[in-house]
Chains A and B, each alone.
Chain A
């Protein structure tokens, strides 16, 4: 709330980090606009938004998970599996594909929630296991190849068409972020998510329903990953069981770059979006740079840069934390 309505009321180190990511994002846009001719061309902007909406969606779910102090490694596998499920159901009706893909994500989220809150397994381990299971299920359903979607049912509209001049995936992501912001900042549930991340035991003693809230968070993350999978299938015309590798890292990096503490208890929806856009922008600029012909960075470099980004931000966070402790 503070970052939106009172941008200069900096009351915590988290606020500072969030301000930083927004400034960095504008800096990169300015840099790209000045350096490359077609950076601000409608084509680049629209395809940027169309492609990166998927990542923005999983980053949103991840933000909620990380705010509670957890982690969801299964989002990439979930998205891959959901893309296959959506493709398989797409001939029935476009909505069938959409709902089936989201339901697949919801199912993984429900499994995560059950394992984490009822079996009391660490989120890292639980979602590592469901990540493998989700990839495997996707490959099984797809028979180890990509599954074409139906072009007759209008399913591809979800990924490929525009509405009011903007890509439909971007509208979907925008709607999800508005909803996420509303929940985190304007509803008691969001305050409870933050308080649980601050300390589960304490939150329980204060009378919060810890298990129920945690379960809801993993369900949301799974469902958003499912939605990302639907968009993936619709955008590329096929369910892709081998896609999604490393998406969880992109999401985690976006959240962390957006100033959310990996230790939980602090975070913002708006800054997560800024973080996702910032990381995506780095790759967009790399593509343009490659286009200039001076350098030639392969796609593999993207992973290296992503990892380096994550590391730098996490180290900065740790430093901020220790400074706060000794202060």
Chain B
């Protein structure tokens, strides 16, 4: 056994991120580490590499108990990490990046010739022949990744951790990467491969460790784990805390309000089509990395669309920035409230009316009376629990923060509301309250596009669900066809790789 992590627990400020998680890796094997966002994969890896300290548990590497307190120690011990944002100095040359911090010297001076030779030699083992004097920024993502791997190899790494290594690669580059991984395997180096694209996991990994909610829920040889089972382990099943909130039978087909046809941008969104009708909740499902959030950003004008068309109430639209989409009646409640939603130190009043301020002006000054009226109305309508509208929003619970954000958009009177993971980080009671709220808004005529990772949420709240896989919409399930099995089957589906792929 090369690596054995047992009973690892870690809490951040009282919130438990890992609960007795475990991970074992044999020499020369490729271990898939999978799980949803927040399942604890990155925390586990960061504990292994000394970025975080564990609260409990033991780590044995290469037969010895280890306790790294910083990344440099893990590196010295033979554990290299290739981060998703490849960590290289972009303006320095390939050769320098490979040898940075342990440069070959002659008479105390840098030995550029030896550096160049060494870099070329190690890259040659990966069948890569490039000008190692050029800055790494000049090369594509796959080559940069190869340079990072070469750096790991020259450090005599026994274990290489790759965090979503294929997320920015095209198919050919993925093939090159897999060839590199096989080269590593042959020389006895083990790889921990964190990824979400199932086909890739099955193509390259020997075993799989599945995490959910900070725990290791399954370990198995890759071949013994059918795709459906893998997805089920990842998503898990929550207690059915939600009452069925969607209408039982299909409502009469209502007019389409928003439609997206064959949208594409870069490699994350390849070909997505979906429709949202008046007064319905349309779900958008898919595994992590399937392009859900990216699709929402395209519709909202936050990212540039390369291909496809968007129609709003029948008219073709091209949104160059979110302001255009907002003017057209589209709102977006983003997934991460902390990063691009709330302004923590501002009051509930200010957070709620942020998007509305331009309309609230009277002679250039915010019309306080109207602001108060709107804030009062939504606090009452959505049932925001707070001491007063002037309370800083950071003091509210997650569910109540979400309501304030919802109110912010509702106050702009949207016709389409895109909401990304509406119940992320919200306790179970508040979850069903938020979903009920969305349902009653839909009943009043609002069109909701709800992105969700939680099967129960989609099953109980959505009128239809579009499933994305690898940036492509692979299925649209109307209410009557919605079932856990149908959703899982669609999510496990992967677009057939075009051409020969490793």
How many of chain B's residues have a CB under 8 angstroms from any CB in A?
Answer: 27
Asked if B90 CB lies within 8 Å of chain A CBs, one says yes
Q: Which residue of chain A has the shortest Cβ distance to B90 in the bound complex?
A: A198
Shortest distance from the beta carbon of A82 to any chain B beta carbon, whole Å: 31
Which of A186, A195, A265 touches B110 (beta carbons < 8 Å)? A186
User: Interface digits, A200-242 against B, CB 8 Å rule (1 contact, 0 not)?
Assistant: 0111111110000000000000000000000000000000000
Interface pairs A-B: 5 shortest CB-CB: A198-B89, A195-B89, A207-B72, A207-B101, A188-B103
Q: Give the complex CA separation of A205 and B72 in angstroms.
A: 7
List residues 123-156 of chain B with CB under 8 A from any CB of chain A. Answer: 133-135, 137-138, 151
CB A204 to nearest CB in B, in angstroms, measures: 7
Are A205 and B71 in contact, with the CB atoms below 8 A?
yes
Set of chain B residues within 8 Å of A208, measured between Cβ atoms: 100-101
- A9: which B residues are within 8 A, CB to CB? 133
Whether the Cβ atoms of A199 and B109 lie closer than 8 Å is no
- The interface residues of chain A lying within 8 Å CB-to-CB of B272 are none
Q: With both chains docked as a complex, state the minimum distance between the C-beta of A200 and any C-beta of chain B, in angstroms.
A: 10
Does chain B have a CB within 8 A of A1? yes
**Cβ-based interface call for B463 (8 A):** no
- In the bound complex, residues from chain B placing their C-beta under 8 Å from that of A11 are 133-135, 138
Q: Which residue of B lies closest to A266 (CB)?
A: B91
Which of A12, A201, A207 contacts B91 (CB under 8 A)? A12
Q: A194 within 8 Å of B by Cβ?
A: yes
Chain A's closest residue to B148 (CB) is A206
Distance between Cα atoms of A191 and B109 in the complex (Å):
12
Interface centre among A9, A182, A205 (most CB of B within 10 A): A205
Residues 147-205 of A at the B interface (beta carbon under 8 Å)? 182, 185-188, 191-192, 194-195, 198-199, 201-205
**Quick check: B110 and A194 within 8 Å, CB to CB?**
no
Within residues 237 to 278 of chain A, which ones have a CB less than 8 A from any CB in chain B? 265-266
Assess whether A206 is in contact with B101, with CB atoms less than 8 Å apart: yes
How near does chain B come to A104, taking the closest CB pair, in angstroms? 31
A207–B49 Cα gap in the complex (Å)?
12
Question: Per-residue 0/1 for B458-476: is the Cβ within 8 Å of any A Cβ (1 yes, 0 no)?
Answer: 0000000000000000000
Task: With A187-B110, A203-B89 given, name 14 new contacts (CB 8 A).
Answer: A9-B133, A11-B133, A11-B138, A188-B110, A191-B103, A198-B90, A199-B89, A199-B90, A202-B89, A207-B71, A208-B100, A265-B92, A266-B91, A324-B137
Interface residues of B in 86-118 (CB under 8 A from A): 87-92, 96, 100-101, 103, 105, 108-110, 112
Interface pair B92/A194, CB less than 8 Å apart: yes
Taking Cβ atoms with an 8 Å cutoff, the residues of A that contact B are 1-2, 9, 11-12, 14, 182, 185-188, 191-192, 194-195, 198-199, 201-208, 265-266, 324
Q: Assuming the A-B contacts A191-B103, A191-B110, A192-B100, are A202 and B134 also in contact, with contact meaning beta carbons closer than 8 angstroms in the complex?
A: no
State A205–B151 Cα separation when bound (angstroms): 12
Complex Cα gap A195–B99 (Å):
12
Q: Is B75 interfacial (CB 8 A cutoff)?
A: yes
Taking A1-B112, A194-B91 as contacts, is the C-beta distance between A206 and B100 under 8 angstroms? yes
Q: How far is it, in angstroms, between the C-alpha of A266 and the C-alpha of B101 when the chains are bound?
A: 18
Contact residues in A for B133 (Cβ distance below 8 Å): 2, 9, 11
* Distance from B145 Cβ to chain A, minimum over Cβ atoms (Å): 14
A selection of 17 A-B contacts at a CB cut-off of 8 Å is A11-B138, A186-B109, A187-B110, A188-B101, A188-B103, A192-B100, A194-B92, A195-B89, A198-B91, A199-B87, A202-B87, A202-B88, A206-B88, A207-B75, A207-B76, A208-B101, A265-B92
Neighbouring B residues of A265 by C-beta, 8 Å: 89-92
The CA of A237 and the CA of B67, in the complex, are separated in Å by: 61
Which residues from chain A contact B100 at a C-beta distance below 8 Å? 191-192, 195, 203, 206-208
Give the distance to chain A from B131, nearest Cβ to Cβ, in Å.
9
Q: What residues of chain B lie closer than 8 Å to A204, measured between beta carbons?
A: 71
Residues on B with beta carbons closer than 8 Å to the beta carbon of A203: 89, 100
The answer for the CA separation of A202 and B144 in the assembled complex, in Å, is 14
Quote the shortest CB–CB distance from A187 to chain B (angstroms): 6
**Least CB separation from B115: chain A residue:** A191
Known: A195-B89, A202-B88. A187 touches B135 (CB 8 A): no
Kindly report which residue of chain A lies nearest to residue B104, judged by CB atoms: A188
Q: Which residues of B contact A191 (CB under 8 A)?
A: 92, 96, 100, 103, 110
Residue with the highest number of chain A CB atoms closer than 10 Å, among B83, B88, B134: B88
Q: Output the least CB separation between B132 and chain A (Å).
A: 11
Which residue of chain A has its CB nearest to the CB of B75? A207
Contact with A along B49-84 (1 / 0, CB 8 A): 000000000000000000000011001100001010
Q: How far is the CA of A204 from the CA of B73 in the complex (A)?
A: 12
The interface residues of chain A lying within 8 Å CB-to-CB of B135 are 11-12
Q: Which residues of A have CB within 8 Å of B81? A: 205
Report Cα–Cα, A313/B118, bound state, in Å. Answer: 38
- Distance in angstroms from B415 CB to nearest chain A CB is 35
Contacts of A199 in B (CB 8 A): 87, 89-90
Contact A206 B105 (CB under 8 A): no
Q: B105–A188 contact, CB under 8 A?
A: yes
In residues 463-497 of chain B, which contact A (Cβ within 8 Å)?
none
Does the CB pair B92–A195 fall under 8 Å?
yes
Residues of B within 8 A of A198 (CB): 89-92
Chain B residues contacting A2 (CB-CB under 8 Å) are 133
Closest to B135 in A: A12
Q: Shortest distance in angstroms between B323's beta carbon and chain A's nearest beta carbon?
A: 22
Tell me the complex Cα distance, A207–B101, Å: 6
Chain B contacts of A266 at CB under 8 A?
91
Q: State how many angstroms separate the Cβ of A233 from the closest Cβ of chain B.
A: 35
Chain A's nearest CB lies how many Å from the CB of B105?
A: 7
Contacts of B137 on A, CB cut-off 8 Å?
324
Q: How many Å lie between the Cα of A203 and that of B90 in the bound state?
A: 11
Q: How far is the CA of A2 from the CA of B87 in the complex (A)?
A: 24
Bound CA–CA A193/B189 (angstroms): 32
A205 to B135, CA, bound (A): 19
Q: Which residues of B contact A192 (CB under 8 A)?
A: 100-101
A10 to chain B, nearest CB (A): 11
**Chain A residues with Cβ under 8 A from B103's Cβ?**
188, 191
Tell me, in angstroms, the Cα distance from A235 to B112 when the chains sit together: 41
Query: Complex formed: what's the CA distance from A72 to B45 in Å?
Result: 38
Q: Contacts A188-B105, A191-B96, A195-B92 hold; do A205 and B110 have CB atoms under 8 A apart?
A: no
Q: Within the assembled complex, what's the spacing in Å between the Cα atoms of A8 and B422?
A: 57
Which of A182, A201, A207 has the most chain B CB atoms inside 10 A of its CB? A207
Give the residues in chain B near A185, CB-CB below 8 Å.
Answer: 110
Q: How far is the CA of A265 from the CA of B92 in the complex (A)?
A: 8
A191 to B105, CA, bound (A): 13
Chain B contacts for A324, CB-based, 8 A? 137
Mark interface residues in B356-374 (1 if CB within 8 Å of A CB, else 0): 0000000000000000000
Closest A residue to B91 by CB, please name it.
Answer: A265
A192→B110 CA distance, assembly (Å): 12
Inter-subunit contact B87/A205 (CB<8 Å): yes
Docked complex Cα distance between A206 and B152 (Å): 10
User: Which chain A residue shows the least CB distance to B108?
Assistant: A187
From residue B88, how far is it (CB to closest CB) to chain A in Å? Answer: 7
Q: Which residue of B lies closest to A263 (CB)?
A: B91
**Closest chain A CB from B321 CB (angstroms):** 17
| Chain A residues with CB below 8 A from B134, complex form | 11
